Amino acid sequence: MHASNGRGAPGDVDPGQQPERLQDCRRCGLWRDATQAVARQGGRSARIMLVGEQPGDKEDLAGQPFVGPAGALLDRALQAAGVPRKAVYVTNAVKHFKWQARGKRRMHKTPAQREIEACHYWLEDELREIRPRVVVALGATALHSVMQAKAMALTPVLGQTLEHDGLAVIPTYHPSFALRAPDPEARQRAFEAIVHALGQAARL
Ligand code: URA
């Protein structure tokens, strides 16, 4: 990991950079404090693309998306919806882990709009390459990036089938919300909403 003062060396970030390799990306400063960029998981023939927010602590270390607690919940939701994980393509709106230290722990920090925009370069590339039938946007960051609509609120469009550039987009809760919502009923409702969205995507 890069020992960072949060600013880095002058010139080590270039929002206009057009890197060929994800690991070389310097379009925003998040690479400095991350172990690595976390790429996608899933085959090119997948018809369903799941887009999360950004890798968490476990994903940053493993180099794979959704392998931590949110990933375990996502796996349960996929199973409940009857969708095999190997049939879906899984990626994130932002490819580097953004975090702040709390004691020895690295706590998730929500990415800034400029970081989401910088990383849209990679999502666009994935959408072009995979050409999924449907994208399930897991949470507001994914929704903003996929729809290219930074002010779009998640709640009013939850579970709807939206359209963007000829692509069907189904917004739902982020799995972390279903883990951390304050009461058990809210967690169960969020889990069911995710299962419903995944089922909806599979039926399209
Ligand atoms: N949360 C995300 O949005 N993506 C991951 O890969 C893991 C947790």
Atom of ligand 1 nearest to the CA of 65: 6
What are 66-81's pLDDT values in tens digits?
999 999 999 999 999 9
- Residue 116 and residue 94 in contact, taking contact as beta carbons nearer than 8 Å: yes
pLDDT at 1 over 60: no
pLDDT per position as a tens digit, 41-70: 998 999 999 999 999 999 999 999 999 999
- Best probe residue, ligand 1, of 35, 67, 85, 92 (max atoms within 8 Å of C-beta): 92
Task: Say whether pLDDT at 92 is over 90.
Answer: yes
In 3D space, the residue among 130, 131, 133, 128 whose CA is nearest the CA of residue 169 turns out to be 133
Handedness of CA 144, 171, 100, 63 (dihedral sign): negative
Looking at the predicted structure, is the pLDDT value of residue 10 above 90?
no
How far is the centre of ligand 1, averaged over its atoms, from the C-alpha of 7 (Å)? Answer: 25
Which of 176, 179, 180 maximizes ligand 1 atoms within 8 Å of its Cβ, making it the mutation to test the pocket? 176
Residue 4 has pLDDT above 70, yes or no: no
pLDDT at 36 over 90: yes
pTM: 0.93
CA–CA dist 163, 52 (Å, integer): 18
- 63 within 8 A of 36, measured Cβ to Cβ: yes
Q: Which residues lie closer than 8 Å to 71 by C-beta, 6 or more apart?
A: 58, 59, 65, 175
* Residue ranges lining ligand 1, Cβ < 6 Å: 52-56, 59, 65-66, 68, 70-71, 92
Please name the residues in contact with 15: beta carbons below 8 A apart, sequence gap of 6 or more: 27, 28, 114, 118
The ligand 1 atom nearest the CA atom of 52: 3
The atom of ligand 1 lying closest to the CA of 53 is 3
> Where are the extended beta strands (E) located within the chain?
48-52, 88-92, 99-102, 105-108, 134-138, 162-164, 167-172
